[in-house]
Chain A
Amino acid sequence: MTSKWLFGAALAASALTAAAPASAATKFEFWYGLSGDLGERVQDVCKAFNASQADYEIVCVSQENYENNLQNTIAAFRANKQPTITQISDGGVVDLMLSGAFLPVRELMEQNGYEIQWDNYFSGIASYFANSKGEMLAMPFNSSTAMIYYNTDALKAVGFEGLPTTWEQVEDVARKMKEAGYDCPVGMDPAGTWQWWEQFMVIHNQPVATLGNGYGGLNAEVTFNQGKFVDQLTFYKRMFDEGLFVNKSKATGQTANEAFTAGDCQVTSTSIADHGSFAKQAAEGVHWEVAMLPIWEGTERQNSVVGGAALWTLKGKSEEEYKGAAAFYNFIATPEQALWWSTNTGYIPVTNSGFDSMKSSGFYDAAPYKGRELAIESLTYTPPGENSRGIRLGNFGAVRLEVAKAMQSVIFDGVDPQTALDEAAARSNEILRKFEQTYKGQQLP
């Protein structure tokens, strides 16, 4: 409404002021949802691309986070001021698939004469960003998965050798850390649904929704309130009550990751993408290692699901700009660039050959990159199954918000986990039904 209008007007104004002397290069915009250290690395990629050729100039604009980027891209698209490329995270995939607002990347690359070996991409990535025929819709860029990070000095202090791999062990070390005088054994923001809920579901082979987590159609219903997650949420609550898990978020004044790198909390769970940032930000004397997410004893580990984002090419731009976008995709797909990107962030190499060459060159053998291979191991632990290839639910961001509220109401307000999850599931199903109605008669591609 008004905000859209103002947004369009602001864009128009900035476009006018930015009308600098024309250069030969075709300019096109790329909006992304990363900030801080990772945001600067994106800028590095953009600079490198611009320096590599003279025909195109990519203008990279940070929108702070994935959510803002999605909102701003939609507003811009509706005002016909969209960027050529936008970075949309895993949660927004279905919305985009049905929007008709994008050019499939495979088509774009073919039309512009680039040959990309699509089967070289990790099957987990392909199953998330491809249509049912296996054709890539978006260009894989920054892929990750959730991991758990441990302060190794704290583990040593409580006499634990190696890194915990089960929740039983996590509870055990947390309890011993507390006894040893650590105020915050595990830092956790209960709004962090991606690592604490979604990935938990996947690696424990729990269905988030019917019809293969929504891959079977828009009429899927959520089922996350029926399986192991009820117990898991009960477990989180108990850990909070015993002070073994401590609430850390922007609202408390320190996020879980900040508390971890400062040495205030001894365990945190976040994306493998933060591996690079942690190496830079960890306070002196803080030693840490990364591990795959813990599972419960007696369960069989399933592969984790890919996180991060992919690059979507939006409709309504000129042929020249599309040529530029294709050139950019081709650039980031080169082995040198892929290596640079995976080295300087914690994001995984997105192709099999990329990973193999990094592995054989000894990249993962020593600090500061040691441990990052575990993300690939986690993603490829088993072949993707019905519950672990991804989650394909419409308006998934809203479903995540419902689960976050359920988790918070259990942990902060003492609501019974089953009750909270039942309500979140009922609300999520209403969201899905509304989405289904909004896209009535449409099928997932």
Chain B
Amino acid sequence: MERRAVYRNKVLPWLLIGPQLILVLVFFYWPTSQALYWAFTLEQPWGGGNAWAGFDNFLYIFRDNRYWATVLRSAFYALAATGLSMLVALTLASFVDRALKGTKLFQSVFIWPYAIAAPAAGVAFRFIFSPEAGLIGGINTIWPGIWDPATNAAHALAMVIICHAWLGIGYNFVFFLAALQMIPKSLSEAGAMDGARPFQRMMDLQLPLIAPTAFFLLIMNIISSFTDSFGLIDTMTEGGPIGQTEVMVYKIYIDGFKGLDYSGAAAQSIILMLLVISLTFVQFKWVERRVHYN
């Protein structure tokens, strides 16, 4: 085995990792411990008090069918937004990968949406989808009442998911395109000579080869569906109609800041954190093994 150089200094390593450690403690562990404390007590909105509540806050949440509805909604949101965004991005990337005319232009056009902040996109899409004044709402003049995200929960959720997926397309597109271009052209050509049509080449050759990229994107998209959804929902629907676009993060916001139930919101955020951790764990433990053929 190769020998490594070792510095015997007790202070230097701490100095080197010190700033990092402080950042992690201050920005991650301190807020988390604060949230934990609130989740197990009854926090007075203006501060002070904190009567011990044990698991009451959690039990309260678990008994609440409205909470479970937001969990299901979040799962649906994550899958729908991720699936839609990745599917469209892959389609676009495979067109651009074929180096048709104007490819360079499309490359830059497709990445633009990614540069737009979620709340800004939310405002723009709210206008586009508005039932009375919007562009899509224009179909209401032909078929009155066919499109109404202001009162119809399914429409409202679809509107937010479409906007979320749209925002992610550029990001997914870049990664898919890079992955596709990494595949040696000779491989595709060989497939073509063996008589495989483009769709078959896609399924049998390209998709398996870009699987690691797709896996990475899956994780990034699912995480973003939890974090970025807040800005969109807040600007587009504010959780409505009837609270039916409230996903887990948005319910935390509503309960914590509008309802001033800091303890209930803290308990929900602990649950959400555990959920995201376990989701990531499952993905790395099971899914990644399959894509990397270990």
Q: Which residues of A contact B (CB under 8 A)?
A: 1-2, 5, 67, 71, 74, 77-78, 95-96, 98-101, 191, 247, 249-254, 395, 397-398, 401, 405, 408-409, 411-413, 430-431, 434, 437-440
Q: Which residues of B contact A (CB under 8 A)?
A: 27, 31, 34-35, 42-49, 51, 53, 60, 126-127, 130-134, 137, 149-153, 156, 237-238, 240-243, 254, 257-261, 263-264, 266, 269
Instruction: Find chain B residues with CB under 8 A from A247 CB.
Output: 150-151
A67, A77, A408, most chain B CB atoms within 10 A = A408
In the assembled complex, the Cα of A430 lies from the Cα of B259 at a distance in Å of 12
Out of A1, A95, A191, which one reaches B45, CB within 8 Å? A95
In the assembled complex, the Cα of A283 lies from the Cα of B61 at a distance in Å of 49
**Smallest Cβ-Cβ distance to B240: which chain A residue:** A251
Q: How many A-B residue pairs have CB under 8 A?
A: 105
CB distance from A206 to the nearest CB of B (A): 24
Q: Name 14 extra pairs, CB < 8 A, besides A74-B45, A251-B240.
A: A1-B34, A1-B266, A2-B31, A95-B45, A98-B44, A250-B238, A251-B126, A251-B149, A251-B238, A253-B133, A398-B260, A434-B42, A438-B263, A440-B51
* Given A5-B31, A253-B134: A397 touches B45 (CB 8 Å cut-off): no
CB distance from B51 to the nearest CB of A (A): 6
Instruction: Find chain A residues with CB under 8 A from B130 CB.
Output: 251-253
CB of B240 within 8 A of CB of A398, answer no
In the assembled complex, the Cα of A28 lies from the Cα of B242 at a distance in Å of 40
CB of A78 within 8 A of CB of B49, answer no
Instruction: Find chain B residues with CB under 8 A from A77 CB.
Output: 46-47
Instruction: Find chain A residues with CB under 8 A from B137 CB.
Output: 253
CB of A1 within 8 A of CB of B49, answer no
CB of B150 within 8 A of CB of A252, answer yes
**Can you give 13 contacting A-B residue pairs, CB < 8 Å?**
A2-B31, A77-B46, A77-B47, A99-B46, A101-B46, A251-B126, A398-B259, A408-B240, A412-B241, A434-B42, A434-B60, A437-B42, A437-B51
B60, B133, B258, B269, most chain A CB atoms within 10 A = B258
CB of B258 within 8 A of CB of A434, answer no
In the assembled complex, the Cα of A439 lies from the Cα of B50 at a distance in Å of 9
- Say whether chain A's binding surface is mostly helix, strand, loop, or mixed: helix
In the assembled complex, the Cα of A67 lies from the Cα of B45 at a distance in Å of 14
In the assembled complex, the Cα of A99 lies from the Cα of B259 at a distance in Å of 16
Instruction: Find chain B residues with CB under 8 A from A100 CB.
Output: 46, 48
A1, A78, A100, most chain B CB atoms within 10 A = A1
CB of A249 within 8 A of CB of B46, answer no
CB of A395 within 8 A of CB of B260, answer yes
CB of B259 within 8 A of CB of A405, answer no
CB of B261 within 8 A of CB of A434, answer yes
In the assembled complex, the Cα of A437 lies from the Cα of B43 at a distance in Å of 10
In the assembled complex, the Cα of A77 lies from the Cα of B258 at a distance in Å of 17
CB of A71 within 8 A of CB of B257, answer yes
CB distance from B44 to the nearest CB of A (A): 6
Instruction: Find chain A residues with CB under 8 A from B34 CB.
Output: 1
CB distance from A76 to the nearest CB of B (A): 11
